[in-house]
Amino acid sequence: MLYGLLMAIFVFDALLLLLIVMVQQGKGNMGLGNLGGATQMLFGGTGGQDIMQKTTWVLGTIFMTLSLLLALMKTMPSSSYSFNRKVSTVATQPMTQVPAQTK
């Protein structure tokens, strides 16, 4: 369950990252950058990164972290990260009473 939830977040993050990267304006003024609002700047208009670059950094960090975490979870046995561990029960047999030996 935890693995499936993280995988869904990973796929959503990957698609969002792809969209944000495609919308950004390149250094050569190519691409769909005009749709992204290139006038939005953080930390002023002269030296800071715009909101699209900050979003790309955050989504990229989430992408890399989730990919590492999912790879580690795939190599570990599922019982080590699962919350619903199954406890194996051993079937018990009733003890039979052995008659005492008489002389």
Q: pLDDT, tens digit, for every residue of 9-19?
A: 999 999 999 99
Q: What angle do CA 41, 20, 40 make, to 5 degrees?
A: 15
- For the chain, which ranges sit under pLDDT 50? 36, 38-39
pTM value surpassing 0.75: no
Q: Is 85 inside a domain boundary?
A: no
Q: Is 12 inside a domain boundary?
A: yes
Q: What is the pLDDT of residue 65?
A: 96
Q: Which domain, by its residues, includes 17? A: 2-24+42-76
Q: What is the pLDDT of residue 24?
A: 81
Q: Which residues contact 31 (CB under 8 A, 6 or more apart)?
A: 22, 23, 24, 25
